[in-house]
């Protein structure tokens, strides 16, 4: 399909931009050549679609240095009073998202997003992982009950939309050892922030026989792989979005910064004058401050046990902490990956479930993974829109997905 935005010198010729997924080019329809159909041509409006046969010619005055002198055309899809124009409000563009997708910036983002999805797939397949799928309707919580979406499931209580594949992925490592997925996750986030969606795409991996270090290394390698693919394929798209590709180069060239939560508190105090009591989780503002200090992602490890999920492995060297890690993207983008080594002591898991107000009997299927030949294992989850937002340098995560779902918006 060829879409044209037509404008310009009506009496002599009609000019318009032909643009489709591969780019845009000015097209010229000379009146002398199209005298008979001039009335129709004169009424073609922005976003009409046409089939065109013509000659490509160099012309320095044209926006791309070339234009198409049209010889034949066929109007395929009329367009009248296209609602999108310059300087419209964010709310108006969100209501008309289905049309706004055609804008050049959204098109560039969608192309980069596609590269990222392909890169995730290629990376894990290349590392010998199997693609594995978990259910979206789930009967247990994984990341805390406060942001679960309850579903009316034929009158059954306690059915939720997946927050993560994890509790249904751990059972599968005994069959496949190395697994990954890219699937939607759902969080009933009450917060209106620039990094929270209620529905987002989650790239997750789970690895049998892992160490905590393996998990961090895979996360670092994956992010480097994604950034390399985007820089190889989408430099022009990044530039079109006003994103300087050079900002991503340190991520490729330098090792990520690794620090413990306790180190992070010290750095926040010394460099940002922020005093956080040991034991409190890092808030968005603190993560953002920390990640502005570096030009590569930070891997922050060993958070206090009480602020992290029940399945994270207690650290034998400091049992107040867990072998969990958050990856924070540079330039103040905050958390992009959350992962951990998994606790394999069944009694500790039960204790922590009870502490967090859960009923261990609902987790019997999960506890079986620890009863019958458990192995050391771990994994992580990466929010794909968070990666898209950081790579594209977007102000809000809402612009990292075609139809964002947030506390305030579920339409169109």
Angle at 202 between CA 390 and CA 212, to 5 degrees: 90
| Binding residues for ligand 4AD restricted to 200-239, rule: CB under 6 A | 200, 202, 204
Binder to ligand 4AD among 116, 140, 337, 394 (CB under 6 A)?
A: 337
Q: Which of 219, 380, 388, 399 binds ligand 4AD (CB under 6 A)?
A: 380
Among 5, 47, 143, 315, binds ligand 4AD (CB under 6 A): 143
List the interface residues with ligand 4AD, window 266-325 (CB under 6 A): none
User: Any contact of residue 173 with ligand 4AD (CB under 6 A)?
Assistant: no
**CA separation for the pair 91, 379 (Å, rounded):** 38
Q: Is the separation of the CB atoms in 198 and 405 below 8 Å? A: yes
CB of 292 to ligand 4AD, least distance (A): 18
Distances (CA, A) of 112 to 63, 195, 228: 24, 18, 12
Residue from 336, 353, 388, 392 in contact with ligand 4AD (CB under 6 A): 336
Nearest approach, Cβ of 54 to ligand 4AD (angstroms)?
A: 45
Pair of tokens at residue 203: 């790239």
Residue nearest to ligand 4AD (CB): 338
- Which of 187, 224, 289, 370 is the binder for ligand 4AD (CB under 6 A)? 187
CB 401 within 8 Å of CB 197:
yes
399 binds ligand 4AD (CB under 6 A): no
Smallest separation (angstroms) from ligand 4AD to the CB of 170:
9
Q: Which is nearer to ligand 4AD, 237 or 335 (CB)?
A: 335
Distance CA 66, CA 406 (A): 42
Please report whether residue 164 would count as binding ligand 4AD according to CB under 6 A: yes
Query: Do strands 199-208 and 178-186 pair parallel, antiparallel, or not at all (unpaired)?
Result: antiparallel
255: exposed, middle or buried (Cβ count in 10 Å: 0-12, 13-18, 19+): exposed
Q: Is 144 exposed, middle or buried (0-12, 13-18, 19+ CB in 10 A)?
A: middle
Q: Does 379 help bind ligand 4AD (rule: CB under 6 A)? A: yes
Tell the burial category of 336 from Cβ atoms under 10 Å away from its Cβ (0-12, 13-18, 19+). buried
Of 196, 229, 352, 370, the one binding ligand 4AD (CB under 6 A) is: 196
Residue (16 or 383) nearer to ligand 4AD, CB: 383
Pull the structure tokens for residue 379. 């994994």
Interface positions with ligand 4AD (CB under 6 A): 142-143, 163-164, 166, 187, 189, 196-197, 200, 202, 204, 335-339, 379-383, 385-386
């Amino acid at each position: 399909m060829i879409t044209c935005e037509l404008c310009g010198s009506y009496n002599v010729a009609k000019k318009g931009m032909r643009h489709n997924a591969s780019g845009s080019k000015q097209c010229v329809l000379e009146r002398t050549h199209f005298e008979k159909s001039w009335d129709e041509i004169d009424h073609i409006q922005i976003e009409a679609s046409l089939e065109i046969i013509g000659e490509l010619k160099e012309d320095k005055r044209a926006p791309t240095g070339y234009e198409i002198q049209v010889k034949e055309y066929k109007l395929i899809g009329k367009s009248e009073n296209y609602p999108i124009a310059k300087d419209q409000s964010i709310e108006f563009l969100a209501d008309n998202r289905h049309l706004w997708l055609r804008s050049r910036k959204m098109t560039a983002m969608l192309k980069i997003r596609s590269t990222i999805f392909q890169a995730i797939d290629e990376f894990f397949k290349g590392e010998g992982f199997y693609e594995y799928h978990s259910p979206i309707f789930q009967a247990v919580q994984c990341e805390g009950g406060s942001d679960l979406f309850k579903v009316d499931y034929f009158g059954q209580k306690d059915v939720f939309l997946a927050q993560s594949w994890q509790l249904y992925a751990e059972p599968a490592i005994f069959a496949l050892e190395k697994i990954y997925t890219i699937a939607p996750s759902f969080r009933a986030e009450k917060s209106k922030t620039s990094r929270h969606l209620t529905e987002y795409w989650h790239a997750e991996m789970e690895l049998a026989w892992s160490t905590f270090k393996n998990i961090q290394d895979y996360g670092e390698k994956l992010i480097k792989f994604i950034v390399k693919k985007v820089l190889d394929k989408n430099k022009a798209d990044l530039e079109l979005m006003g994103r300087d590709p050079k900002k991503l180069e340190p991520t490729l060239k330098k090792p990520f910064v690794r620090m413990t939560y306790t180190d992070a508190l010290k750095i926040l105090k010394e460099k940002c004058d922020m005093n956080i009591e040991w034991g409190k989780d890092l808030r968005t503002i603190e993560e953002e401050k920390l990640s502005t200090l570096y030009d590569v992602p930070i891997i922050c490890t060993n958070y206090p046990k009480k602020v992290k999920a029940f399945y994270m492995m207690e650290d034998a060297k400091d049992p107040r902490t867990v072998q969990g890690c958050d990856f924070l993207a540079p330039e103040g983008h905050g958390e992009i990956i959350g992962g951990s080594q998994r606790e394999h002591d069944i009694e500790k898991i039960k204790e922590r479930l009870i502490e967090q107000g859960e009923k261990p009997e609902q987790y019997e299927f999960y506890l079986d993974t620890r009863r019958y030949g458990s192995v050391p294992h771990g994994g992580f989850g990466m929010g794909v829109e968070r990666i898209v937002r950081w790579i594209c340098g977007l102000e809000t995560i809402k612009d990292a997905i075609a139809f964002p779902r947030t506390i305030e918006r579920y339409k169109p």
